[in-house]
Structure 1
């Protein structure tokens, strides 16, 4: 069942005294419920821009994005915020944890915007999620007292605590060693599977990307099948799972 779809999506940025910068061009992508897909590409290829569009943090300048077959272009700012908070979980390379707050408080944060029982049970729900990622004994630890792998697990718990339908992971193992990165990716896949969430991973690392069932590559703003030969100009379609590498891109 299709959850999210991009049709002919483009993103162009105007520049003073220069031609407009085309970051994405004619991107077509279908994300099914429970999908596992990865997108690889060099820095500046448009990976982060695509992730922001998938997560409704930004809007395309061309084409259309559909959520449950409804065009998101018509969404109000409030509806975009509510939808993103409810349906999308973000995992970033740099973790973005709140310094000075405990692991439990960090994971509780998304639940502060919830309603009903989830809000009132936020401590218990956050504690259960931390226990699930193997950090039930670290609830009171602040980020500065956690290892890189532990911080990433806190970030994963925070992203998944509201059981989103879509998980967007931007270089989630980029700051980790190889062994810890593999453990984190296995954990991420396990939890996503349990909630039947779609998982989209942006990465520089082809080895981790190969863990995905659908694999894409970004070339000069176009999304192409990972199995397709590299060309001077790209078309549209897919590449592998998870993340590594470093740095940011457009």
Structure 2
């Protein structure tokens, strides 16, 4: 089933005393449930802007964008927040952990906005997710007492704790060494596969991009197939 559909999507921003700046131009993209998509591009190519659109943080300037067959421009602000909180998980290069909270409390944070079982059992659900990422013995540890790889695992657990249908990974291994980065990507792939979530990875690293089943390149705001990225073994 198609989760995201973009057709002729543009994104422009108004500038003072200058013509509008076009960041994305005529983007066409379909992302299905369970899809694995990588998007590569140079700095300034529009990757972050595209990520913000896919994650329902921004609206297209023109074009058609559907989330679960519904036009995103029709969402109210509150509905957009609910859909994003329930169905989209973000994994950033910078971990963005709450420094005054334990690993368990960080992972519980998205569940504070949940309803029913997810809200009332948030502590147990968060603990189970941390166990799943190999940090079951670090529940009460503060972020500054965790290694970089462990902090990234907490961030991954937090992004996946509500079972999102779409995982957006923005340079997820950029702050990690090669070995830790590979282990983190293995974990993201494993959890996404188990949950049936679509995974869109934005990266400048060809090795990370090659792990996907579809490879795209963003160049000066234009999205196109990137056939030169080798498929991972």
Q: Under TM normalisation by the shorter chain, which class is it?
A: over 0.9
1:225 alignment counterpart: 225
Q: 1:215·1:240 contact (CA, 8 Å) conserved in 2? A: no
Contact 1:226 1:240 in 2 (8 A): no
In the alignment, what sits opposite 1:82? 82
Counterpart Cα distance in 1 of 2:48 and 2:218: 11
**Is the 8 Å Cα contact of residues 24 and 46 (structure 1) preserved in structure 2?**
yes
> Partners of 1:118 and 1:20 in 2: how far apart?
44
| 1:240, distance to aligned residue in structure 2 (A) | 8.3
Q: Secondary structure at the match of 2:94?
A: coil
- CA, structure 1 residues 17+240, in 2 after alignment: closer, same or farther (shift >3 Å)? farther
**Which consecutive aligned stretches of 4+ in structure 1 deviate over 6 angstroms post-superposition?**
none
SS in 2 for 1:29: strand
Indicate the RMSD between aligned Cα atoms, in angstroms.
1.4
Which residue is equivalent to 2:210? Answer: 210
Asked whether the 8 Å contact 1:2–1:32 carries over to 2, the reply is: yes
User: What corresponds to 2:115 in structure 1?
Assistant: 115
Q: Which residue of 2 aligns with 1:201?
A: 201
SS for the counterpart of 1:21 is: strand
- Consecutive unaligned residues of structure 2, counting only runs of 5 or more, are none
| Partner of residue 147, structure 1 | 147
Paired residues, number: 232
- 3-state SS of the aligned residue for 1:37? strand
User: 1:64, CA displacement in angstroms?
Assistant: 1.6
How far apart are residue 121 of structure 1 and its match?
0.4
The one-character-per-residue Cα deviations of 1:135-158 (angstroms, maximum 9, x if unpaired) are 000001111000010000000000
Note if contact 1:40-1:240 (Cα within 8 Å) is conserved in structure 2: no
1:71 matched residue in structure 2: 71
Aligned to 2:102: 102
Alpha-carbon shift at residue 208 of structure 1 (Å): 1.1
Aligned to 1:231: none
Match of 1:185 in 2: 185
Normalization by structure 1: what TM-score? 0.91
| TM-score normalised by L of structure 2 | 0.97
Q: Which consecutive residues of structure 1, in runs of 5 or more, have no partner in the other structure?
A: 229-238, 242-250
Question: Secondary structure, in 3 states, of the residue corresponding to 2:227?
Answer: coil
